[in-house]
Structure 1
Amino acid sequence: MKHKNIAAIFVFVLASSITFFFSCKKINEATTIGGDLIPVVDNVNTFDTTLDVLAYNDVFTNINDSSTSSYTDVQYLGQITNDPLFGKTDARMFLQLKPVAYKHAFLNRPDSLELDSIVLVLSYVNTYGDTVQPQNVRVYEIAQNSSFKKSAIDSVFVNGVWEKYSYDTAYKYRQNSITYQNPGMPLGQTSFIPYRLNDSVKVFKDTTAKQLRIKLDNAFGRRLLDYDSSTVNGRINAYSSDSAFNSNFKGFALEATGGNSVVGFSLTGANTKLAIYYKDKGNNRPQADWDTTVTYFTFSTALSASANYIQRDYNSTPWYATAGDNVPDNDIFIQNTPGTFAKVSVPGLAGLNNRVVHLAQLIVEQNYGGITDSLFYAPPSMMLDAWDPSISKFRTIPYALLAGSTGAFDYTTFGSFPGNSLNDAGQNIKTWKFNLTRYVQHVVTGRLPVYDFRLYSPTFVRLQYGIPSVQSDVTANIQTISPVISTIGRVKVYGGGNGALPNANPRRMRLRIVYSKI
């Protein structure tokens, strides 16, 4: 564990300031933000300099991360057992599949039905990790005493409008309070190789691809057939209403062992369903004349609850012992929700006098880690926000990340999405360039304080949004950063290190500023 070194940090800050005042030379770093508006750096009228940063690894916990899963997200199931940078991941799914409508009945002839089989089907989306190592999946029934239900309403910005949707506030990615009805007795289990989920299947009335099929115990299927929407012959009145169904069957819990990947499924995809195959015997007809049919229970966006539990284990990783201390880190490790973050500060900002700021970019470059970076690739987006000590909350960076007329944040202009570039070894790496131009301009004119930043890769953001002394703060509604969200994506990037000292890494995290003197 690293310890505080106040003297070393003081020397670093002093060196950073010296570097700023004596390094006003042209730095040949391309930019794609307003390139036609930025004047040529000639070191006479326009200057180009770099401020060094301090970056510190840290980890989200149950205390500082309240992220919850939504049925609109891709749900992940599986185990990552060998990621040399980020350790292990255990992803579990919980969901309810229900009759299409109530009252429900199987052909209105419960006494004449013969069960063939019952299969849980999941709509496959993608695999993150090793697609050739087999995963073993077990399905359990959720215990009746678990409070597993749809629990809240919120808004999400979709296709230009705010839409209401239900989600499950009680079910955080990092917490699992859902218990099993019979922990030692799964309803069914199967083994599969992820890449084969792209293949088509050929079963009764279903020949589509991209589905995981798990055959369940016939006794469970018979139990569902015996439920009936009437009370004739003493049958349980389980299909008369949604609450009646919930009181008889709470839902499914899925967990996996083995493998080295997490596999994504869509709850609202066409292939997600509970398929109950059965025959109608009719009025004592010969078996050869029995009609085969299938009834599907599906995920109801209005009534079905869901949860995606993601457990991370960083104990064996080389960086975890450095997290949470006060010593700057040369390498920073960012993992998607529920994951990790970095604290970032730019001491040199406090020493800037007034000037015209044409461009200010916080540049973050990937530190390529070899073949495992192909299996466990970088997140599709990252977020940078600011810690405001006056309200003891994180906020969007004033003037940098703006909400448009529709209410959505402009993540593209802000720099949340990476570009591709080549490192010194010719490898394709990700580079993020966060546009802080307007924020830095207001800092040098004394209208905004110097904030410390947080770099992370969230599923959603919900932050204080406003401009101190100009626009009152409001809490922004849930904002989606990327269409590929939750759980997947991790990256090692260069930290700030001791950038102001000789032989500094040119790819270190840094703040580049193009400016003119006043």
Structure 2
Amino acid sequence: MLTDLNNGKLKNRRIIQACLSAVILICLSTACNKKADKVGLGLQPASAELSVVFDNNSGLYSHSILEDSVRTDVNVIKTGMLGSMMDPEFGKTTAEIFSQFRLSENGHNFGTGAILDSLVLSLAYSSFYGDTMTSQTIRIFELDQDMNPDTSYYSTQSISDYGIELASLTFIPRPSDSVYVDSVQEKPQLRIRLSNDFAQKLIEADPDVYDDNEKWLAFMKGFRITTDAVSSDGGIMLFDMLDSKTAMTIFYKSADLEDTLAFAFLSNSNCARFTAFDHNEYMDASAAFKAQVLDGDTAAGNELFYLQAMGGVKAQISLPDIEDFFADGPVAINEAKLIFNVYDDGTELLGPPQLGLAMIDEEGDYVPLVDANEVSTYYGGYLNDAKDQYYFRISRHVQNVLTGKTPNYPLALLVQGASFRANRLILYGSDVMLNAENKMTLEVTYTKVN
């Protein structure tokens, strides 16, 4: 794992690593719409075009390493992730949410003699990853530490709470099922009733607490929404924290009215919020995973290697001898295509829709490849469902390495959107004998330049 214990460098590295997904997405989305030119085409007649396939026999190597934490605060993502899952290869993962909820309007007054009905926290589903048939148990606690919406929060951080449980709920996730609220059908959401003691505390609070959000957040700093670890299967629930149905709502009656009234506390872009992930130090992972990722058996990665979102696992790809292969004279790289084939481990856990690729410089920071400026459909990185395959065209990068314009840094392969996805993936390495046609390859076509 590339980690610098110097605090200043570590902070800078985390910022760069957290921004990698955004940088790559910007490059992809802003690229021109014409078909990208292949490097070097036209320099030689077609008959002079040569090709080579790099694998483990010709110096293409891969292995998995632990990822640093990923940034998960409200300034970079809108998704909150919650739940626990036990993966037969990656082991146990849990996700919890730390979040503020803000006043929907300033100056609210419950009036004299308000009678509590209930206090409900609702979270609007956006997706789910894993097994929806496994029950989950979540617990909610009140934070005793301030949060700041302008602060960068990472997936390994935590905020302390009072240790008093405000709610617990054991349930089967229903991320696709609508719910009925007061006989009205609404979008899929998880609804948790909070304790009456906590609700009464809100009703009986000094009215000044509701003057504005500064006073409110000094009074009620937010929630830790956590989950019990499962022993098998399980999954990660994804919630849209900016959806209008994600809110805390108190229902009550006033002394002089029979109708039930409601006041909402909102989850919006002004709320400080982040998701934290715990992989239990991969103590529950498979023996093969531990040998490669924890014990540093890099050679094992040439058979299979691993990727995991949620600040989990990335891979390092290297071609240390590529310059030696082309040492006989200058060449023009027409195309260099890095191909990864998906290994079927027998689970129903899907790989991510997109991977990211970047250089790892001598400081351990991520540097986007020049090819990322190409049209996204040409550059690649997306899952080809029909072939169970990902690829990247890195022709310009290889050309720059051969000409000395770019150092031959190792490449980082990682899940794109690791802050808001729960996917994991196992890929074939470059070993020819073990993986045959499924092996990872770099396929290069080139012409010699006289």
TM-score (norm 1): 0.71
- Supply the distance in 2 between the matched residues of 1:252 and 1:210 (Cα, whole angstroms): 21
- Helix, strand or coil at the partner of 1:384: strand
Which residue identity lines up with residue 77 of structure 1 in the other structure?
Answer: L
Q: Distance in 2 between matches of 1:334 and 1:439?
A: 23
Query: Structure 1 counterpart of 2:221, which letter?
Result: K
* Partner AA of 2:95 in structure 1: A
Q: Higher Cα Rg: structure 1 or 2?
A: 1
What is the distance in 2 between the residues matched to 1:394 and 1:256? 33
Alpha-carbon distance, 1:414 to partner:
2.4
Cα gap change, 1:453/1:204 in structure 2, threshold over 3 Å: closer, same or farther? same
Q: What SS does structure 2 have at the residue aligned with 1:319?
A: helix
Q: Report the CA distance shift for 1:437/1:73 in structure 2 as closer, same or farther (over 3 A).
A: same
Contact 2:122 2:247 in 1 (8 A): yes
Residues 24-69 of structure 1, C-alpha deviations (whole Å, 9 max, x = no match)? xxxxxxxx9879x979x999422222012111221124xxx45333
Instruction: Indicate conservation of the 8 Å contact 1:281/1:291, yes or no.
Output: no
Aligned pair in 2 of structure 1 residues 223, 503: CA closer, same or farther (>3 Å)? closer
Are residue 59 (structure 1) and residue 66 (structure 2) matched?
yes
User: CA offsets per residue over residues 138-188 of structure 1, 9 Å max, x none?
Assistant: 111112xx13232x2xxxxxxxxxxxxxxx41x211222x1121x2x3111
- Please state whether the residue corresponding to 1:421 is helix, strand or coil: coil
Count of residues in correspondence between the two structures: 397
Q: Is the 8 A contact 2:121 2:247 kept in 1?
A: yes
Task: Name which of 392, 402, 414 aligns with 2:379.
Answer: 414
Give the 3 Å change call, closer, same or farther, for CA 33–454 of structure 1 in structure 2: same
Letter of the aligned partner of 1:439 in structure 2? Answer: H
Q: How much has 1:411 moved relative to structure 2?
A: 4.5
Q: CA deviation at 1:340?
A: 0.7
2:262 paired residue among 294, 302, 319: 294
1:278 is aligned to: 252
2:114/2:253 contact within 8 Å kept: yes
SS of alignment partner, residue 373 of structure 2 = coil
Match of 2:192 among 188, 209, 214: 214
Number of the residue aligned with 2:351? 378
Q: In the superposition, relative to structure 1, how do residues 260 and 44 fare at CA in structure 2: closer, same or farther (>3 Å)? A: same
Counting only pairs closer than 5 Å after superposition, residues 246-285 of structure 1 correspond to structure 2 as 246-257=217-228, 258=230, 260-282=234-256
Contact 2:72 2:420 in 1 (8 A): no
Q: Separation in 1 of the partners of 2:268 and 2:435?
A: 56
CA contact (8 A) 1:331 1:495 kept: yes
Question: Where do residues 15-414 of structure 1 align in structure 2 (5 Å cutoff)?
Answer: 44-52=47-55, 53-61=60-68, 65=69, 67-70=71-74, 72-81=77-86, 83-106=87-110, 110-143=111-144, 146-150=145-149, 152=150, 168-169=151-152, 171-176=153-158, 178-181=159-162, 183=163, 185-194=164-173, 196-204=174-182, 206-229=184-207, 237-257=208-228, 258=230, 260-282=234-256, 290-302=258-270, 304-313=271-280, 314-315=282-283, 316-317=285-286, 318-323=288-293, 324-327=296-299, 329=301, 330-351=303-324, 352=326, 353-370=329-346, 372=347, 374=348, 376-389=349-362, 393-397=365-369, 399-402=370-373, 411-414=376-379
CA contact (8 A) 1:105 1:228 kept: no
Relative contact order (alpha carbons < 8 A, sep ≥ 6): 1 or 2 greater?
2
Deviations 1:362-405 (A, max 9, x none): 111111111x1x2x21012111111233x6533112x32228xx
In 2: Cα distance, 1:277 partner to 1:344 partner: 56
The answer for the alignment partner of 1:432 in structure 2 is 390
Unaligned runs of 5+ in 2: 1-34
| One-letter amino acid of the counterpart of residue 289, structure 2 | W
1:496 to 421, 430, 433: 430
Q: Structure 1's 417 and 306: CA in aligned 2 closer, same or farther, altered over 3 A? A: same
Name 2:22's counterpart in structure 1. none
- For 2:434 and 2:36, locate their aligned partners in 1 and report how far apart those are by CA, in whole Å: 29
Of 421, 440, 443 in structure 2, the residue corresponding to residue 512 of structure 1 is 443
| Deviation per residue, 1:8-33 (Å, 9 max, x gap) | xxxxxxxxxxxxxxxxxxxxxxxx98
Distance 2:264 2:213 in 1: 16
Q: Given the superposition, is the C-alpha separation of residues 43 and 50 from structure 1 closer, same or farther in structure 2, using an over 3 Å criterion?
A: farther
Distance 1:213 1:202 in 2: 11
- CA shift, 1:228, in A, is 4.4
CA–CA distance in structure 2, aligned partners of residues 418 and 104 of structure 1:
50
Structure 2 Cα separation of the partners of residues 447 and 273 of structure 1:
52
How far 1:205 moved relative to its partner?
7.4
RMSD between aligned alpha carbons? 2.7
Question: Does the Cα contact within 8 Å between 1:123 and 1:271 map onto a contact in 2?
Answer: yes
Q: Secondary structure at the match of 1:419?
A: coil
Q: TM-score, normalised by structure 2?
A: 0.81
Cα distance change of structure 1 residues 130 and 34 upon mapping to structure 2, 3 Å threshold: farther
Asked whether 1:486 is paired with 2:416, we answer no
The residue aligned with 1:23 is none
Separation of aligned partners in 2, 1:86 and 1:504: 21
For residue 254 of structure 1, report the CA deviation from its aligned partner. 1.0
1:111 CA drift (Å): 0.7
CA distance in 1, matches of 2:125, 2:386: 32
Partner deviation per Cα, 1:270-316 (whole Å, 9 max, x = no partner)? 2111111111221xxxxxx61222111111322x2112111113223
Question: Residue 383 of structure 1 contacts residue 456 of structure 1 at CA under 8 Å; is this kept in 2?
Answer: yes
The letter for the 2-side match of 1:267 is M
Report if the CA contact (8 A) 1:357-1:513 is conserved.
yes
